[in-house]
Amino acid sequence: MGQLDGKVALVTGGTAGIGLEMARRFAAEGAQVYLTGRRPEAVDEAVASIGGSTVGLCGDVSDLAALDRVFTTISERSGTLDVLVANAGSGTLTALPEITEELFDSTFGSNVKGLVFTVQKALPLLTDGASIILVASISGITGSPGMSLYAATKAAVRNFARSWAAELAPRRIRVNALNPGQVATPGLARLTNQLGDGAEHLGTLPPLGRIGDATEIAAAALFLATPDTAYMTGSDLVLDGGATI
């Protein structure tokens, strides 16, 4: 018997890295999983890799019409939603003098606007006692040179968790922020390649002596998704190997 048998879960940005592993773990635990991504081919590949009854939906979370289509599909196929993981987001290495209006709009569009309206549009489907997991980052706690836009968006995400936890408490909907540190994902690989010889900006290894694995973040998301955390809301769950000690 799986920990999420009979539950319906949505993972945005579920085609690679942490999002894909969350979707995979939820499906393995018995959930009906929906995942989203911007590229049709990536969505199809993710669904094929997970198998089962997983449903892939194409759309950019910063496009409100695309979000409407996502939730219409979930409503028609499942009727309700028990677990929402707002994971979709992006970030690039850009020093302050090089930040453009276009980059500002795209980063805040996916990481803040997209997250806000993902949660808002999910509310009519969310069951009382549902779990909302907002994927933030330790960058929103510590800041990172050249990643100020990304770090600022993740700091906003952490505050949304606190504010919405209080706002949605009457429905017993739990809202928690998940804050990964350095994790072996395609996103980290792209950043490392972008840095080249300057990869030291990523910092030294944390006290545990290694970067994290996406499956470890997925395990934490499962913890937040289950009734085991029925008394946990408005919290920051940090998984960084001790980097923020």
pLDDT(196) > 60: no
Our count of domains for the chain comes to: 1
In a domain, 219, yes or no: yes
Instruction: Write the CATH number for 164.
Output: 3.40.50.720
In a domain, 1, yes or no: no
Verify whether residue 34 is a known catalytic residue: no
pLDDT of residue 200: 47
Q: How does residue 202 score in pLDDT terms, banded at 50, 70 and 90?
A: low
pLDDT of residue 131: 98
Q: What is the average pLDDT across 132-144? A: 93
Host domain of residue 51: 8-238
Q: Which of 74-88, 177-191, 202-216 has the lowest mean pLDDT?
A: 177-191
pLDDT of residue 238: 97
In a domain, 2, yes or no: no
In a domain, 131, yes or no: yes
In a domain, 244, yes or no: no
In a domain, 216, yes or no: yes
Cα–Cα dist 14/34, whole Å: 9
Q: What is the average pLDDT across 53-74? A: 97
Active-site hit among 71, 150, 160, 164: 150
pLDDT of residue 236: 95
pLDDT(199) > 50: no
pLDDT of residue 201: 47
In a domain, 245, yes or no: no
pLDDT of residue 195: 54
pLDDT of residue 120: 98
pLDDT(181) > 80: yes
Contact residues for 163 (Cβ-Cβ < 8 A; gap 6+): none
* Residue range 170-180, pLDDT digits in tens: 999 999 999 99
- What's the 3-state SS for the chain? CCCCCCCEEEECCCCCHHHHHHHHHHHHCCCEEEEEECCHHHHHHHHHHHCCCCEEEECCCCCHHHHHHHHHHHHHHCCCEEEEEECCCCCCCCCHHHCCHHHHHHHHHHHHHHHHHHHHHHCCCEEEEEEEEEECCCHHHHCCCCCHHHHHHHHHHHHHHHHHHHHHHHHCCEEEEEEECCEECHHHHHHHHHHHHHHHHHCCCCCCCCCEEHHHHHHHHHHHHCHHHCCCCCCEEEECCCCCC
Q: In whole numbers, what is the pLDDT of the chain averaged over residues? A: 93
Q: How does residue 197 score in pLDDT terms, banded at 50, 70 and 90?
A: very low
Of 191, 223, 160, give the one whose Cα is nearest residue 91.
191
In a domain, 162, yes or no: yes
pLDDT higher at 217 or 200: 217
Contact present, 79 and 126 (Cβ < 8 Å): no
Structure tokens, 21: 């592993």
Q: How does residue 95 score in pLDDT terms, banded at 50, 70 and 90?
A: very high
pLDDT of residue 192: 60
pLDDT of residue 185: 81
